[in-house]
Structure 1
Amino acid sequence: MRISRFGALTATVAASALVLSACSAPADQPSEVVEGSSVNVAWNQAFYTYNSNTSYGNATANANIVYMTSSAFNYYNNVPELVKDESFGTYELVTEDPQTVQYTINEGVQWSDGVPVDEADMLLAWVANSGVLNTPEFDPNEFTNPETGEFTEDYPTDVVYFDGAIGAGLENVTETPEIGDREITLVYDTPFVDWELAFGVGLPAHVVAQRALGIEDAQEAKDALVEAVQTNDAEALAALSNVWNTDWNFTELPTGDDANLLVVNGPYQISNFVADQFITLTANPNYVGDNAPQIEEITVRFIADPLAAVQALQNGDVDVIQPQATADVLTALESIDGITVNTGVGGTYEHLDLQFDQSKSGHFNDPLVREAFLKTIPRQQIVDTLIVPLNPDAEVRNSQLFVPGAEGYDDSVASNGMAERFGDVDIEGAAALLAEAGVENPEVCILYASNNPRRVNQFALIQQSANQAGFNVTDCGSETWGGLLGTPGAYDASLFGWQSTSLGVTNASANFRTGGINNLNFYSNEEVDALLTELDTALDPARQIEIQIELDGLLMADNYGLTIFQFPEVTAFSDRVTGVNPGPLSPTIFWNIWDWTPTEAASE
């Protein structure tokens, strides 16, 4: 076994876009696929939707597959630094006042069914992820199933509601963009600091329109979509939004009339999918970019138990794993020959969020009850028991916005109150607050991944501690926890990890702004919203840090929740594949999937 360490997440990271858990440059010429080559990868959660931009689909397990089957204007390497993919398209800042950005997709870029990727696809991405044309005041939470997190059959068909990445920047482009031949021009109402991270092509416009509007011809379908957006045709947009929101939610291989859900524009395409077992990607013959893969077939196998993933690696059932790290995992890996192991600190952090509205019990509407519960969370015990055996230097994380070691972290910790108020468990203080609130034995049902051993252990430690103060902590754990996040009435608190996807400072909006796509606990604070708006346009790095420190303090004053620890990370791979160089940002091990090279064994 060869062991190496990669460094902690770079200290330049302050706040990042988030999803639910040696640099190699792209080749100058497309690689050739090694015929017959295949590699199996283990991942701890099953894929369940191809649209990872919805509140339902925003999870790493989905984003991994989307990344490998999609092309983009840029991506992060493992330094991490932003890399432009000019084999897909280009973009430029045309003017700074007003901030105007033009995107152009290269001629010849096409979807896997041969249809060109063009301005219609970009216009769809804008309307879906800006929310500008959504029906005002519509509340989708009234039509969300608390058992599954998906929209119910009662969801109205006459409203326009794209459940996109609202809060990620495009909501600042309120005028319908001008389009040309494979071009779109975005004009921001106010300058947006992270404009390079705000836009990309998502679902194929022709397929969305074919399914929503009943148009068979691809070009006619795209033309109809463009007209609907440009004329704000509410009837057509309602149908388009409903299809965009829900049709790409699938847990097995779509066939028949649904086969067009598999149309993609990246290096790989989905070729097989068995529910709760695996999803297989095959090299896309219609891909024309620089990031062409060398491995013909990648199969991602869903293995929740980290020790089971290690066993699968040892048995040769999988070739690459990045399981949730535990002391037992590292011990087990030490006994396996012919593998390489990388360890370090990743970009994911564990946290406990409280529901501010539409919770299962409603008790956390009272700030005294929120504060009382947070006083019982044994964060130090969790770190000492579960993380220190992997990383002796591990510490409790005490900021919602800053990564430990980043500029601003120490100053924020000194002022935000998390360490001071909730550094130690205070059972007596919690009980006193419950008495002051006049609440006896309040129920708190916690949502977490019930098939994740570390989360099971954390839940048990929290339950034992909180119950001593008079809480009744109950189990809302589920193997399908990801789809339940943000579902009204499903739980009272959630325990999971946010995986950083970028180095952008403005993306805190997605988590904490009223209505943000990652605002899964219905938190709302006008002062926070105002600061986030200022952060969107703050060009001075010093002011950016000041704003984030202020935000951190406001979140703790509201008893928002608690961060617990930065994830220790372990990646292991067999001698059947080379080129695996994990990075700290999502999609971690998959960021350079085109550089993975099969050895002779992978082609046998």
Structure 2
Amino acid sequence: MKFTRSAKFALAAAASAALAVSLLTPAQAATRSTVILHETNSITGLNCSLSATNSTTCSAVSYLQGAGFNYYNNKKELVKNTVFGSYKVVKNTATDFRTQWTVNPGRVWSDGTPITGEDLLLSHVLSSDAYSKAAGLGDPTDKKTPPAFNGLGYSGVYANNIVGEPVLSADKMTVTLQFKKKIANWDLYGPGPAAVHTLVLMAEGKDKLGTVAENEAARDRFVKAFKDKDTALLKKMGDIWSKDYTITTVDSKTNPLLLVGNGGFQIDSAVAKTSVTLKKNPKYNSGPALSGSVDTVVFKFIGDGTAAAQALANGELDVYAGQATADGVAKLKAIKNVNVVGKDEVAYEHWDLHYDTVPDEAPYTGLFSVKDGAKSKALRQAFLLALPRDEIMQKLIAPINGVSTPIQSTWLAPGSAAYDKLIAANGSSFYSRGTQESRNKSALALVQKYYPNALKSPLKVRVLVPGNNPRRASEFALAKANMAKVGFDLVGDVRTDWPSKLGNSDYDAYFFAWVASSVTQRQSAEIFDTNGGNNILGYSNKAVDAIIATLDAPMSESLLLAKYIQIERLTNADAITIGVFIHPGVVAVNKDLKNVKPGPLSPTIVWNYWEWSY
């Protein structure tokens, strides 16, 4: 499982005048075929599997462009996409667990090229540490030299359990995977389709769509390179995959090979920090049939919540989904012809403290570096104790949904069956006991043990602050004010490009939200595993790694809970992160637009785009 960084934060749009969409009259609304969606964060790129582009906005846009073997509905249920293909377990023993994945005949890419099982093989390249090393593409665990395909898929369940390489059937439509043991949530660790012919063509310098014959010949060259471990061609493909998709502008000059997909829509244009427009894919046949009335989807990026609400009232937006404030919800409810609905959220706000150097970043030598041993640990503990979570809840969250108690876990959410048992034993009470005043006294004592004059000469803590977000600005202000009482001077760097800066050694602390994209036993493992794809703190604890390594196997709920407790006791003792709140979920939808059913998992709003209609 991968998480995506929450992109539901406000950007620097000052007014709704920035919108390039004209006011809709009632006559136009009656015959509409365009859905205009609000996003607070602009798109970060077209390949969401890179650390710099991994955001919920990227995920939502990509979801419309691609289809695979399954997807999540709004009840967090995994649904098989039988239009695209089928999958099953074909062998199940203690040491040999095999799954088979078959693409249905007749599926095609948006350029008309037939989709086959060969298009599933790139998943192995992107997920297998062993293959990357054997093919001369680099060691994904090397903290200094990134692999050719520099993505987030390595060193996880797949890499740790896969045996050998995928086996392609004689008709080239089925791939069989072998694992060394039965995998919990095995249906999430299958291959996904990738238009490998486009990567080959771009690696060969092409900048135009090829014919079907040319495309199939290019795919054959990939399959040969895959089997032969042709380092030269695979490295060129990796360079394209890792670098060429990091674009936020799409126009007539954009290489069309970058835009080939098999989803219901294709990117038609994109204006950096402003919008992305997608048009219906006329060759789409990889997923549920489209309703027929929607042929254009536009993502509009508006950071100012007031401006976004006004755009909704003006008819310039059809769906509003931003970080809620009490005033904002009231304004949304006052808009005519709009339905305002709450939605379950799995996005949780948290504060993280830098622990050690992150791969591809300069050495971290700041205040909280683990290299300073007991001193830095005491400072991390002091920081988490002094974070005014109760005040943040009371002033920023309770006015929206009435919730005033901070979350005490970063693995399970309040309301989960085992949440109360987890937080009673996970060590979180160290940071929540007593009052904020008593916690401040404990924090100050920890700081003054090493810096007796901290109140007169406070310690500067460099904080990455998500930019132009009223709620996050208020959150930072509350934290800064209370931290001053214990000898910390929070110095905020307010940036709208904050997702690309997570893990950067210029910062001692970060605060944002993780939002789940799937439901697995591993939950937050990728954040805390030494080689986890979302480990942005340089955190490493061998005991935590060892427990995480056991989460792959099916087990009872009681045993799983015991493992979560063990992990959280260790991470709480190391003082690296603390949760604050589950994001209040508010979505406002044009009443003329039917079947928008917000879900809790990324990609939240768009998971059932094929059902939308006017």
Does TM, scored on the shorter chain, surpass 0.5? Answer: yes
Instruction: Provide Cα deviations, 1:436-481, integer angstroms capped at 9, x if missing partner.
Output: 3458533221113112111111111111111221112111221011
Judge which range, 508-517 or 37-46, deviates more: 508-517
Residue 115 of structure 1: how far off its partner (Å): 1.3
- Give the distance between the partners of 2:216 and 2:411, measured in 1 at CA: 44
- Give the distance between the partners of 1:63 and 1:474, measured in 2 at CA: 31
- Give the distance between the partners of 2:489 and 2:131, measured in 1 at CA: 44
Matching of residue 374 in structure 1 with residue 384 in structure 2: yes
Q: 1:186 and 1:319, CA in 2 relative to 1: closer, same or farther beyond 3 A? A: same
- Give the distance between the partners of 1:163 and 1:246, measured in 2 at CA: 11
Match of 1:72 in 2: 68
Match of 1:20 in 2: 5
The letter of the residue matching 1:473 is L
- Give the distance between the partners of 1:382 and 1:141, measured in 2 at CA: 36
8 Å Cα contact 2:344/2:599 also seen in 1: no
| Alignment equivalent of 1:178, drawn from 167, 181, 185 | 167
- Give the distance between the partners of 2:604 and 2:582, measured in 1 at CA: 15
- Give the distance between the partners of 1:254 and 1:220, measured in 2 at CA: 28
Matching of residue 121 in structure 1 with residue 119 in structure 2: yes
Structure 2 runs not aligned, ≥5 long:
7-29, 358-362, 370-375
Residue 38 of structure 1: how far off its partner (Å): 0.8
Match of 1:581 in 2: 597
Instruction: Provide Cα deviations, 1:468-509, integer angstroms capped at 9, x if missing partner.
Output: 2111211122101112223x3232211111112122112432
- Give the distance between the partners of 1:592 and 1:320, measured in 2 at CA: 14
- Give the distance between the partners of 2:127 and 2:572, measured in 1 at CA: 29
Match of 2:180 in 1: 189
The letter of the residue matching 1:434 is V
- Give the distance between the partners of 2:267 and 2:327, measured in 1 at CA: 34
Residue 388 of structure 1: how far off its partner (Å): 0.2
Match of 1:339 in 2: 338
Residue 200 of structure 1: how far off its partner (Å): 4.0
Matching of residue 513 in structure 1 with residue 499 in structure 2: no
Residue 429 of structure 1: how far off its partner (Å): 2.0
Instruction: Provide Cα deviations, 1:541-588, integer angstroms capped at 9, x if missing partner.
Output: 221121112111111011121000111111111123111111111111
Q: 1:71 and 1:345, CA in 2 relative to 1: closer, same or farther beyond 3 A? A: closer
Q: How does 1:210-359 map to 2 (within 5 A)?
A: 210-214=201-205, 217-256=214-253, 258-293=255-290, 294=292, 295-358=294-357
Matching of residue 169 in structure 1 with residue 157 in structure 2: yes
Judge which range, 199-208 or 209-218, deviates more: 209-218
- Give the distance between the partners of 2:113 and 2:296, measured in 1 at CA: 23
- Give the distance between the partners of 2:334 and 2:153, measured in 1 at CA: 44
Match of 1:110 in 2: 108
Q: 1:74 and 1:139, CA in 2 relative to 1: closer, same or farther beyond 3 A? A: closer
Judge which range, 574-583 or 289-298, deviates more: 289-298
Match of 1:89 in 2: 85
Q: 1:437 and 1:188, CA in 2 relative to 1: closer, same or farther beyond 3 A? A: farther
8 Å Cα contact 2:343/2:599 also seen in 1: no
Match of 2:468 in 1: 451
The letter of the residue matching 2:164 is E
Residue 518 of structure 1: how far off its partner (Å): 1.0
Matching of residue 199 in structure 1 with residue 184 in structure 2: no
Aligned length: 556
- Give the distance between the partners of 1:196 and 1:256, measured in 2 at CA: 39
- Give the distance between the partners of 2:193 and 2:423, measured in 1 at CA: 38
Instruction: Provide Cα deviations, 1:373-427, integer angstroms capped at 9, x if missing partner.
Output: 1111001110110000011134210001011111221111111122333454322
Residue 70 of structure 1: how far off its partner (Å): 0.8
- Give the distance between the partners of 2:583 and 2:448, measured in 1 at CA: 36
Secondary structure at the aligned position of 1:384 is classed as: helix
- Give the distance between the partners of 2:587 and 2:352, measured in 1 at CA: 28
Secondary structure at the aligned position of 2:346 is classed as: strand
- Give the distance between the partners of 1:357 and 1:232, measured in 2 at CA: 34
Q: How does 1:526-545 map to 2 (within 5 A)?
A: 526-545=542-561
- Give the distance between the partners of 1:139 and 1:198, measured in 2 at CA: 20
Residue 203 of structure 1: how far off its partner (Å): 3.8
Q: 1:516 and 1:202, CA in 2 relative to 1: closer, same or farther beyond 3 A? A: farther
- Give the distance between the partners of 2:235 and 2:380, measured in 1 at CA: 39
Match of 1:99 in 2: 97
Match of 1:602 in 2: none
Residue 314 of structure 1: how far off its partner (Å): 0.4
Judge which range, 206-215 or 120-129, deviates more: 206-215
Match of 1:396 in 2: 406
Residue 512 of structure 1: how far off its partner (Å): 1.3
Residue 360 of structure 1: how far off its partner (Å): 5.7
Instruction: Provide Cα deviations, 1:57-87, integer angstroms capped at 9, x if missing partner.
Output: 2210100011111102111111221110110
Secondary structure at the aligned position of 1:241 is classed as: helix
The letter of the residue matching 2:574 is D
Secondary structure at the aligned position of 1:346 is classed as: coil
Q: 1:343 and 1:559, CA in 2 relative to 1: closer, same or farther beyond 3 A? A: same
Match of 2:57 in 1: 61
Secondary structure at the aligned position of 2:132 is classed as: coil
8 Å Cα contact 2:318/2:589 also seen in 1: yes
Residue 364 of structure 1: how far off its partner (Å): 0.9
- Give the distance between the partners of 2:582 and 2:62, measured in 1 at CA: 25
Judge which range, 397-406 or 162-171, deviates more: 162-171
Q: 1:407 and 1:251, CA in 2 relative to 1: closer, same or farther beyond 3 A? A: same
Secondary structure at the aligned position of 1:519 is classed as: coil
8 Å Cα contact 2:68/2:286 also seen in 1: no
Secondary structure at the aligned position of 2:540 is classed as: coil
Structure 1 runs not aligned, ≥5 long:
1-15, 22-33, 144-154, 599-604
Match of 2:26 in 1: none
Residue 213 of structure 1: how far off its partner (Å): 4.1
8 Å Cα contact 2:67/2:287 also seen in 1: no
- Give the distance between the partners of 1:132 and 1:162, measured in 2 at CA: 15
Secondary structure at the aligned position of 1:473 is classed as: strand
Judge which range, 231-240 or 305-314, deviates more: 231-240
Secondary structure at the aligned position of 2:339 is classed as: strand
Secondary structure at the aligned position of 1:539 is classed as: coil
8 Å Cα contact 1:131/1:164 also seen in 2: no
Instruction: Provide Cα deviations, 1:155-181, integer angstroms capped at 9, x if missing partner.
Output: 8xxx54442323553212252211131
Q: 1:221 and 1:289, CA in 2 relative to 1: closer, same or farther beyond 3 A? A: closer
Instruction: Provide Cα deviations, 1:198-245, integer angstroms capped at 9, x if missing partner.
Output: 234254211112222447732232222222222223333322222211
The letter of the residue matching 1:116 is P
Judge which range, 127-136 or 56-65, deviates more: 127-136
Instruction: Provide Cα deviations, 1:322-372, integer angstroms capped at 9, x if missing partner.
Output: 111110111111221111110144111111111111376521112122111
- Give the distance between the partners of 1:161 and 1:284, measured in 2 at CA: 28
Judge which range, 490-499 or 252-261, deviates more: 252-261
- Give the distance between the partners of 2:232 and 2:421, measured in 1 at CA: 51
Q: 1:505 and 1:259, CA in 2 relative to 1: closer, same or farther beyond 3 A? A: same
Matching of residue 460 in structure 1 with residue 456 in structure 2: no
- Give the distance between the partners of 1:582 and 1:94, measured in 2 at CA: 35
What CA RMSD, in Å, does the superposition of the two structures yield over aligned residues?
2.2
Secondary structure at the aligned position of 1:523 is classed as: coil
